[in-house]
Amino acid sequence: MCRLPLYHVDAFADRLFAGNPAAVVPLPAWRDDATLLAIAAENNLSETAFLIPEAEGFALRWFTPAVEVDLCGHATLAAAWVVFHHLRPEWQSVRFTTASGPLTVHRVGDALRMDFPARPPRPAPVPPGLSEALGTAPAEMFEADGENVLVVLETPAALRALRPDVRALAAGLGHGVIVTAPAGPTDGADFLSRYFAPAYGIDEDPVTGSAHCTLAPYWAARLGHPEVTGFQASARGGWVACRLDGDRVHLTGTVIPYLIGEITP
């Protein structure tokens, strides 16, 4: 019987049971896509990361319970934590080959800093039905990338109060919805966000690193400085420190381990 290690960790978390849980499965070689998707569906987390060794790092892929995605922040953070703590503990940085190009993660004390592509938003009209599905009208509306839109609300209270009709979001948009607002005086952050992606099998993602590839450029421009801190105000919640650097964005967070085991796919 084939056995594979599985690491279940909380990414962008400052304590256990916070941040975004991810599974990481190191492989000696790629399995077929149907098996990878079946493992991700069995894990039933927002993302499962699979990695195989290469000459100078690892190749990395990410699967939700429903689809493969081309970029995932929290599962990359989780995969780097596994590399540094279990696979290559002598390394101070790791390079991943991915569908979104090479991604590098560095140790920074107890935290990890990811080097990701910046995805600045572009103004866009409000799609039909979006305001009704969200239960509120956007103050600003943007196209984030080919897979997401960015909705800006005026107040942190409006963002926290959102109870969207996720089925309507999935049917009407077919992609993810990043929602953001300025942080309140007691939030300890520069901005708040939430992320809804029912079309990808994720009603609300707890903490979304890839969304900050768009949030960081937006808030850096709006606030006038390249370093901003975001708090994703989901039920679990999580912090993402962001630094805009040209066409790249550095995303820093911490990882808390939860479970180490084996699977027998």
> For the chain, what is the domain count?
2
Same domain for 164 and 84?
Answer: no
Residue 160 · residue 195 · CB < 8 Å: no
Residue 200: is its pLDDT beyond 90? no
How much is the pLDDT for 191?
98
Q: Do 185 and 235 fall into the same domain?
A: yes
Shared-domain flag, residues 259 and 166: no
Q: pTM for the full model?
A: 0.94
What does the pLDDT read at residue 15? 95
The pLDDT score that the predictor gives to residue 1 is 67
Same domain, 16 and 91: yes
Q: What DSSP string describes 82-112?
A: HIIIII-TT-SEEEEEETTEEEEEEEETTEE
Q: Is 129 found in the same domain as 105?
A: no
Catalytic residues: 47
42: containing domain: 4-118+251-263
Asked whether the predicted pLDDT for residue 145 surpasses 90, the reply is no
Tell me the three state secondary structure of residue 200. Answer: helix
pLDDT of the residue at 183 = 98
pLDDT at res. 110 = 95
Do 129 and 233 fall into the same domain?
Answer: yes
Q: What CATH number is given to the structural domain containing 222?
A: 3.10.310.10
**What percent of the chain has pLDDT above 70?**
100
49 and 145 fall within a common domain: no
Structure token pair of residue 134: 């969200």
Does residue 79 surpass a pLDDT of 90?
Answer: yes
